[in-house]
Each structure stands twice: as C-alpha cells, then as structure tokens.
Amino acid sequence: MDLLPNIQKKGYRVLDLVRQREIHDIVPYTIQQKLQVTGNLISRLGLEKELNGHTGCVNCLEWNESGQILASASDDKDIILWDPFRYEKKLVLHTGHHGNIFSVKFMPKSNDRVLVSGAGDCRIRVYDLAFSYTEPIFTCKCHRARVKRIATAPSIPFLFWSAGEDGLFLQYDMRTPHVCRSEDRNVLVNLIYHAGNNVEGKCISVNSKKPELIAVGANDAYIRMYDRRMIKLSQIPPCPTHVLNTEWVNFTNYRAGKGDPDDNIPLGSVQYFIAGHLRSRDSNRSITTTYLTFSDDGNELLVNMGGEQIYLFDINNPKHSKAYLNCSPKKYTELGSSCVEQSDMENMEDFTEKNVKVLPPHVEELKREANEGFEQQKFSLAINLYNKAICRCPTAAVLFANRAAAYMKRAWDGDIYAALRDCKLTLLLDPEHIKAHFRLARCLFDLNRALEADKILKNFQQKFPEYVSNSSCKALRMDIKEAIDNGRDYSQSNHLQFPISEYEQEWRRNSIDYKMRFCGHCNTTTDIKEANFFGNNGQYIVAGSDDGSFFIWDRSTTNIVRVLRGDDRIVNCLQPHPSTCLLATSGIDPVIRLWSPLPEDGRINEREIRNLDDAASANQIRMNSDPFEIMLMNMGYRLPAHQGEFSDEDGEDQRDVSFTQALNCRPS
C-alpha cells in the first residue's frame, strides 16, 4: 500500500500522521516535517479529542520525553496515564494523596516507570510503576503547606525539586534514603528567612541546558533564579513531630526576614527578575507567579504573573535591568529629559547613527495603517501594527514614539511602563524627539513618580521653551505639583509591609527587567495557570485564561494570533507535545482536551474566538473588576472604559467596550 500520497494530503490530521509513523514506520523524515509547528498549522488548530476519566478539576499535565504518554492529575487524587494517539487510558493510579494533586512529573531516564506527585496534603509521593501500582516507594512530608510544583532536570535522573506554600524549595536525591525532619539537608531555599513570613512558594523550574540554574516563583512580583552549585543545602527548621502546622509557622517566624542564619545562599548566587513597573505597584490586587519555564535553549525565562501579564526575561543580559525607574545620580546621567545608563551615554553616537529616518516601503505602509488605527481609537490594532513594523525595522525612533502614544491611550496593565520604555528607546535613537520627551514625564507621573516627572518636565521646558505655555504642559505641571505637595510619590515612600533581609534588599535592587510582554489573557482566579513555549524554536507562546479560552501569541511580535475556547470556565494547563503540533489543555472541567491542526475541508471551527481584540479587552477589564462587575459582564452588560485610561496632549479618549461572552471564574 502506497501511503505517501495519502500522507501528503492536507486532510490528514497530526494524530493520523503520528499513527502512520508508529504503525508503518514509513518516511519518518517526511512525516516529521509535516508535524512541526508552523503558521499554517497554528491557523488550523482545533479540538481533536476530549479525554474523559477524571472526576475533578485536572490541575496538571505532563508529557513523557518521547511524547508517547500523557500524564494527568486531578482534584480526584488520581493520576492517569494516557495513550494520546489512541485516546485510551494506559493506567489509573490511585495515589493515596488526601488533597488535590497539583503537580506530576516523570523522573528522567526511568523508562517512564517512575512518577513524582505533589499535592494539597503537603505530601510528595514517588511511584515505581514496575514495582507497585498502589504503594509509593518514597513519601515525603517535610513541607508544612500545600506542595504546588515538582521540577526535574532531563540530564539528572536522580534529583527532583519541590515548591511549597510554606516558603520552602526542597531538593531530593533518590540515591540516598530520606527521613522527614531528620538531620537530612534538603532545603535549597527557605524564602521565609529573606522575604518574610507571608511568602509562599508557587512554582519551580530547572534550566534543561544549564541544570545548575533553578528559577522559583512566589506570591509576589519577583522571580528568583539560583545557581545551586553555590548553595549549601540546609536543614528544615527543627520541629517536634507532634507540633501542628500553625505552631510550626510560629516556631520558624522568629527568623522571618532576618536572613539565613548559616549564610547558605551567598549573595552572588542569586539573580532576581521583575517587570519594572511592578517594583512600585500600589494596588490592592495581589501579584503571584503562577508558572515559569525556561526556553529550550536555556537563555530565556517565561513567566505567567497572576494579576498581571506574561513576561519573557533574558537570563544572560543584565543590561535589561534598572534602566527605566529608580534613576540614581550615581549610575545614570540625564540626556535631554531621559534617564540613560552611563554606558549608553558613551555609545550615544552609535544609537543616533542607527536611527532609520526613511522607512522601507513595506514598513511605511504598516506605520500608515497603524496611524490610521490610532486615529480611529483602535489602539490595540495600532499597537499590533507597530509591533510588526518594529520587528522589520527595529531602529526607527518614529515607530517607538508612535507605539508609546498608543500604549498610553490603551492603558492596559503595564502599558504606561511599556510606553516609558519606548520613550527611552526613542530618545536614544533621536534625542530631539519632542513628544517622546514630554510623554516620558507623563509616564513617570502616571507611575506615581512625581519627583522624577517634575525633573524631566523642567528639563523639557528648558530644552524646548516654546512649549512652556502649552496647555498640556501647564496641566501636567500643576498635577505634578499637587502630587508632590500631597506626598503622592512612590519613590519617596517605603511600601514594604514586612521586614526583608539585607540580602533580599540587595537582590531586589539588582533585579533584571523584562525583555518582552504578552497581553490579552486573564489570570486572577487560580494560582496554577501556566504559560509555555510552543514550537520547535519556541516561536509561539500559549497560556490559558479565566474566561475559559486559551491564547496563542507570536513570539517575535508579541501579537495574539489565535484564541480558542478551551474550557467551560477556566483554562489552567497547556502542555505542548515535545515534537509535534499537538497541545494538551485542562482546567476546571474534569476533561483533557487535545488540540491539533484540523483538515482544510471548509468546516467552521466552532471553538475559535474571531474577535481577538474584544476578547483581550474584556480580559483586561475583567482583571480590574470587582466580583459585582464581573457578574454584570457575565449578564452581557456594557461597562465603562478602563478606569486607568490615559490621555495625553493629543486629546481625551473615551472608550466603551461591549462583551458578548464572559464566563464565570471559579478557583480550583
């Protein structure tokens, strides 16, 4: 039978191709090419199959290394191993956990025999499926609060790590016996020592290319990356076996925020990351890292921030750090009205020489369309077009300046800070750009940096005296004066509610800023919401949302390319197949959904959300709404424009966003 012509038909699904490869072992290279994630396959992505077997929310998904097995775990306390290509259960493991399972992992190089799980009962269990389907070979009860994540390293078959809401991040070596609360040293990081007694561990990830690097997330805005080669493992704070969890917390809190008593974590072994505007966030909404993962090449860190957006950090380039806020006279020198690092000052001529003043025709056309969208108050459309133009021409000051204006008008979470970054880039390329100077002052003011805004505005007036009498300039000057007079300047106040160690203060001061930002989803309701790279080169980003959908972004432009309805309420987990265009998702529903490219047969994909901007705008308002407003959204009422809407000298902006579909959010 000649299968190659059939395989080459567009009507074949990815799972069909995989089955043909497995069963017939034919033309593997030809098939493998067709399985790679491409723009065409992303545009056809749709629901392939629903896997039913759990009776509770599915909180975690995990592919084995070859992609032949999918593991899932749930509130029902079971782990199920699936054959995803035949849609069949291979095994149902009744774990014995007494709480919701939040994480499951295959131990590397174990031939998929060894599984590790962590759960809400504060327990970690390890199963060797070749030995027993009922009894764990290893049980750990060192954590005193829920275990939220397990991490493994592909190149290290005997180690795994855990993140617990007790603020502990533990390391386990399967080669040695383990007795809980013994003299064993298995504490990699005790965050309570440095960040205070309210800190909770939420997630952990190991760099597959550099397994010495471990990133952890907590219930704050900081991402922490440790070089474990420099850390001395320590003991869990001593506690009698009869002491209750609440008493144990009190027992250990005497060290909270006072530093590590044994100095097990040297100052130089840690690097912190944070989206710059979250340093000075003054909001009642909590910020929590719900998921983080390293890129396949080990150079980037992708982070899903609960209560905020998704961020990509460059772990190798410290120049993405303190360049936008907290401009210190010792480290920064003013150029015009922008704060520029001294190293940038020395290379200023290089920046200005790179400024592209005459855009290539295709970029000029994108700019024209973006400007038109801006005039029509379609600010997300304008931003998307500027993003494409900047990808094609990354050193044109006019593109950054225009995008900054669009960010300021749209005013989603983090947009003002993104505009500030664009203003700085504009001024590096074109120090005489008038609007970028003025907008920089406006951004600083809107970020509650009134003193810095005042300094920038005064510099602007000296540099461009003809604008001193401008009405917008006068209005901003009055607003800044009022803010300073009333003490509304974040840079002059200490918003820390709890003491932190001296090391923690230093690590936070040296935090690295983000490289890219991905917006559109809503992440406020659950603390296990994932974001992952998708594609053999990580060319797409995927994440779930509280509105029951999941989003796909183009990594290079940060633009949304697809939104699909993935759950009746909330999508939490998205795990791409390790080698094919196949995606597994789960959420509040007790089912797992498999997504692959659908045949090009003209059928409508009923799960596709076509108005991407409406979906993203609805989620931005959802993130800033109280429960009553969300109820109105669910009933189909129209809500007023986002309260943080920013207007600049180009005029006021009044928006009204309608919501045709917004689903209930319930925590897992």
Domain of residue 535, CATH code: 2.130.10.10
Each residue's pLDDT tens digit, 100-144: 999 999 999 999 999 999 999 999 999 999 887 778 999 999 999
Q: pLDDT band at 626, cuts 50/70/90?
A: confident
Residues 379 and 406 sit within 8 Å (Cβ to Cβ): yes
The residue among 490, 523, 558 that closes a domain is: 490
CA–CA separation, 162 and 221 (whole Å): 20
Q: Is residue 501 part of a domain?
A: no
Asked if pLDDT for residue 539 goes beyond 60, the answer is yes
410 and 294 within one domain: no
State residue 545's pLDDT score. Answer: 97
Structure confidence at residue 344 (pLDDT) = 43
Please report whether residue 126 resides in a domain: yes
Shared-domain flag, residues 111 and 152? yes
Residue 574 corresponds to which amino acid?
A: L
Q: What are phi and psi of 486, to 5 degrees?
A: -95, 10
Q: Do the Cβ atoms of 337 and 435 come closer than 8 Å?
A: no
| Three-state secondary structure call for residue 267 | helix
Q: Is residue 656 part of a domain?
A: no
**Strand ranges for 107-181 from DSSP E:** 114-119, 124-128, 138-140, 147-153, 156-164, 168-173
pLDDT value of position 15: 60
What confidence score (pLDDT) does residue 30 get? Answer: 46
Residue type for position 469? S
φ, ψ dihedrals at 417, nearest 5°? -70, -40
Q: Report yes or no: 259 and 501 within 8 Å, Cβ to Cβ.
A: yes
* Whether 212 and 267 share a structural domain: yes
Kindly report the average pLDDT of the chain as a whole number. 85
Structure tokens at 551: 């989003």
Residue 96 lies in a domain: yes
Q: Rounded to whole angstroms, how far apart are CA atoms 482 and 564?
A: 46
Question: Is 635's pLDDT higher than 50?
Answer: no
Query: What average pLDDT score do residues 329-344 get?
Result: 34
Lowest mean pLDDT among 536-540, 547-551, 627-631, 636-640: 636-640
Cβ atoms within 10 A of the Cβ of 334, count?
14
Instruction: Kindly state the average pLDDT of the residues 316-340.
Output: 45
Last residue of a domain, one of 566, 597, 628: 597
Q: How many domains does the chain have?
A: 2
pLDDT band at 36 (very low <50, low <70, confident <90, very high): confident
pLDDT at 317: 78
Distance separating the N- and C-terminal Cα atoms of the chain: 50
Could you tell me if residue 260 is inside a domain?
yes
> With 90 as the cut, is the pLDDT of residue 639 above it?
no
Confidence class for position 329, pLDDT limits 50, 70, 90: very low
pLDDT at position 338: 35
Q: What is the mean pLDDT of residues 395-411?
A: 98
Paired residues of 79 in beta bridges: 73, 93
Task: Copy the structure tokens of residue 294.
Answer: 């390293």
**Is residue 260 within 8 Å of 190, Cβ to Cβ?**
yes
Confidence (pLDDT) at 133: 74
Identify whether 12 is part of a domain: no
* CATH number, position 368: 1.25.40.10
pLDDT band at 339 (very low <50, low <70, confident <90, very high): very low
The verdict on residue 34 lying in a domain is no
Q: So what's the pLDDT on residue 395?
A: 95
Mean pLDDT within 242-266: 74
pLDDT, residue 255, reads: 84
> At residue 340, does pLDDT exceed 60?
no
Judge if 67 and 163 occupy the same domain: yes
For residues 113 and 212, state if they share a domain: yes
Q: What is the pLDDT of residue 365?
A: 98
Residue 478 predicted with pLDDT over 90:
yes
Q: How far is CA 363 from the centre of its chain?
A: 30
Predicted pLDDT of residue 628: 58
C-alpha 54 chain-centroid distance: 27
- Asked, for residue 605, whether it belongs to a domain, the answer is no
Assess contact for 34 and 582: CB atoms under 8 A: no
Q: Which residues pair with 552 in a beta bridge?
A: 542, 562
Chosen domain end from 490, 514, 548 = 490
Question: Do 147 and 189 fall within a single domain?
Answer: yes
Same domain, 148 and 80: yes
Q: What is the pLDDT of residue 633?
A: 53
Residue 248 — pLDDT band, cuts 50, 70, 90? Answer: low
Residue 216 pLDDT > 70: yes
Nearest alpha-carbon partner for 630 in 593, 664, 585: 664
DSSP string, 557-582: T--EEEEEE--SS-EEEEEE-SSSS-
Same domain, 273 and 390: no
Identify the domain containing residue 463 by its residue range. 352-490
Residue 41 has pLDDT above 90, yes or no: yes
Q: Model confidence at 642, in pLDDT bands (50, 70, 90)?
A: very low
> Highest mean pLDDT range out of 33-42, 130-139, 320-329?
130-139
The proportion of the chain whose per-residue pLDDT surpasses 70, expressed as a percent, equals: 79
Write down the pTM of the prediction.
0.87
Average pLDDT over residues 485-503: 79
How does residue 350 score in pLDDT terms, banded at 50, 70 and 90? confident
**74 compared with 181, residue with greater pLDDT:** 74
- pLDDT at residue 335 is higher than 60: no
Q: Give the pLDDT band (50/70/90) at residue 241.
A: very low
Tell me what the mean pLDDT of segment 447-476 comes to: 95
Asked whether residue 290 falls in the same domain as residue 395, the answer is no
Shared domain check, 445 and 401: yes
pLDDT confidence of residue 180: 85
DSSP 185: -
Pairing of strands 310-314, 168-173: unpaired
Q: How far apart are CA 82 and CA 60, in angstroms?
A: 13
List the alpha helices (DSSP H) in 215-273. 245-252
Residues 469 and 510 in one domain: no
Same domain, 372 and 268: no
Query: Angle at the Cα of 93 (from 87 to 99), degrees rounded to 5?
Result: 115
Q: What is the mean pLDDT of residues 170-187?
A: 88
According to the model, what pLDDT value does residue 596 have?
96
Question: Which of 201-215, 314-328, 609-623 has the least mean pLDDT?
Answer: 314-328
CA atoms of 78 and 73, how far apart (whole Å): 6
Q: Could you give the dihedral angle defined by the CA atoms of residues 429, 432, 433 and 434, in that order, rounded to the nearest 10 degrees?
A: 160
- Which among 386, 404, 419, 380 has a CA at the least distance from the CA of 563? 380
Burial profile 627-664: b = 16 or more Cβ within 10 angstroms, e = fewer: eeebeebeeeeebeebeebbebbeeebeeebebebbbe
Q: Of 648 and 165, which is predicted with more confidence?
A: 165
Residue 564 identity (one-letter amino acid): L
The amino acid at 118:
G
- Model confidence over 550-603: pLDDT tens digits? 999 999 999 999 999 999 999 999 999 999 999 999 999 999 999 999 998 888
State the pLDDT confidence band at 467, using cuts at 50, 70 and 90.
Answer: very high
Give strand pairing partners of 91: 81
How high is the pLDDT of residue 239? 56
Give the per-residue pLDDT at 337.
30
